[in-house]
Structure 1
């Protein structure tokens, strides 16, 4: 639960790419259904961009300060594995330089 509150503190934007129908995107679709409302409630002004396109591979992309980006492929991952990858992106952002510091 704590990772939801850390989104806006460690990154500038989260992009989620997925296919609406493929089995490989099932885990990330399940993650979005289970967590999107709570993520937005905890971070109301934080941009969470969900991009759906037939045939695209499931990925999480975090944009940090100074334009740095990091992407992870979560194609075929379970809901729990998607959450672990997002937590890793949050941790990576905590150690990056911030523009307000």
Structure 2
């Protein structure tokens, strides 16, 4: 999918926070299981951090150039909703200034 290529070009890092057992993190867990390997295949050096902690709120944090970060909650979201939120973070990053420009 095109979003995987855009991901590595629009941001510097993606952090995914989730609970290993909570039903509210089920969509994030499903998303990670379905997409992590493909994201790393596109760019093995792109940093994707998985932060697991019992009771943690499910959220995505994108770090862009110049240290700008944006966090969105995906607590209780389905895997498809997690992808939608990630695509919005990608679109935001595409509009931001890049350090190499």
Normalised by the length of structure 2, the TM-score is 0.99
Moved over 4 A (4+): none
2:82 maps to 1:82? yes
Tell me the secondary structure at the aligned position of residue 4 of structure 1.
helix
Give RMSD over aligned pairs: 0.4
Deviation digits for residues 24-73 of structure 1, max 9, x if unmatched? 00000000000000000012110000000000000000000000000000
- Aligned partner of 2:68 in structure 1 is 68
Could you list the runs of 5+ residues in structure 2 that have no partner in the other structure? none
The residue that corresponds to 1:56 in the other structure is 56
**TM-score normalised by length of structure 1:** 0.99
CA distance in 2, matches of 1:5, 1:42: 7
Alignment coverage as a number of residue pairs: 101
Give structure 1 stretches of 5+ with no counterpart: none
SS of alignment partner, residue 89 of structure 2: helix
Counterpart in 2 of 1:23?
Answer: 23
Any idea what SS the aligned residue of 2:46 has? coil
